[in-house]
Amino acid sequence: MQPVLPPFVPVPPEVNRRAWSWRRQAFRGLVYQVLAVAAIVALLSFLVHNTLLNMRLRGIQSGFDFLFDPAGFDIGEGLFNFDSAQSYAMALWAGLLNTLRVAILGIALTTVIGGLVGVGRFSRNALVRGLCRVYVEFFRNVPVLLQLLMWYLIFTELLPDAAQPWRWGSVFLSKGGLSFPSPSWVGGALVWDTPFLGEFAVEGGSALTPEFMALLLGLTIYTSAFVAEVVRAGIASVPRGQAEAAMALGLSPRLQMRLVTLPQALRVIIPPLTNQYLNLTKNSSLAVAIGYPDVVSIANTAINQTGRAVECIAIVMLVYLATSLSTSLVMSAYNARTALRER
């Protein structure tokens, strides 16, 4: 006869165990985190104190009060008219807008060009596949700074003079830039301001300077080569059976790519695509090499005039940190929206 076992009674947890006991892993982790944050704050405070002390001993002024002083220099290009009587803060704001203009347009163009080249790598036409491959291998292996200088030399040396531009209807292209019609408000009505050839140069309309076009094209073409590889890798990661199933349903190759392959490839494409967007935004700081007045170029001018190197560098770092985090936040939200939901 087998012995009768007593009924199983679960062992109650220790009721006298204190919530703030060192034996609790959660409490130990909280203490370690507090100590780490305190150590970082203490280190930063020490560095800031020593920096300010050394600057004071050398007679170097510090602080952000210079932002409200007149800048004393003009900005030749921007989204609003800036003159030397305005403050350094407005000058940096104009540079920030110039940086954002290049970054936003560059991201849009990079997405289109990189997507087309990446999809073209899977074309049934051997010539298209070859051209897309050459595009990727050439432009991604040439340093971006050299590409910026190349485009700048093309726009400033090979194009005709401003008095004899190339013309396509109401569009003019010369060493002075690209002029084109633009809408404007005149007397409460929306009219088109059309450029025309004046005595010495093109007048009227809107214009893109050679510096802006060189920076935009250089960043776009360079980054789109990497985006094309991201798109190619994402498409290649989709199982072959998906394309075969779409073919069995009678979908054309174009519809297969648009309705079946690309939506599934987005899960792989978006994370590295975000990195390329961030790289394009940060690489826009190379604009100083070709004379485009972005936030880095204007900050360098402010440093030379005021000597506030630490403050200006801190402002530039904050600008790029904010733009990078904003881009990451938008792309993360888009990634969460397009992610496939598992059952």
Domains and CATH numbers, the chain: 88-338 (1.10.3720.10)
Query: Stretch 43-56: mean pLDDT, rounded?
Result: 81
Amino acid at 219: L
Beta bridge partners of 207: 179
> Closest Cα partner for 91 from 78, 101, 104?
78
DSSP secondary structure string for all residues of 310-329: HHHHHHHHHHHHHHHHHHHH
Q: How confident is the model over 134-159, as a mean pLDDT?
A: 93
Question: Would the pLDDT of 16 be above 70?
Answer: no
Least confident range from 102-116, 152-166, 253-267, 313-327: namely 253-267
pLDDT reading at 13 higher than 70: no
pLDDT in tens, 209-233: 999 999 999 999 999 999 999 999 8
Q: In the predicted model, is pLDDT for residue 282 greater than 50? A: yes
Query: How do 189-193 and 196-197 pair as beta strands?
Result: unpaired
Question: Residue 226's closest CA among 170, 159, 333, 142?
Answer: 142
Angstrom distance (rounded) from CA 259 to CA 107: 24
- For the whole prediction, is pTM greater than 0.85? no
User: Rounded to 10 degrees, what is the CA torsion of 325, 328, 329, 332?
Assistant: -160
Residue 192: is its pLDDT beyond 90?
A: no
Phi, psi of 26 (to 5 degrees): -65, -40
Amino acid identity of residue 186, one-letter, is: V
Residue 342 DSSP code: P
Give bridge partners of residue 168 from the DSSP assignment: 171
Instruction: Give the separation between CA 168 and CA 180, rounded to whole angstroms.
Output: 10
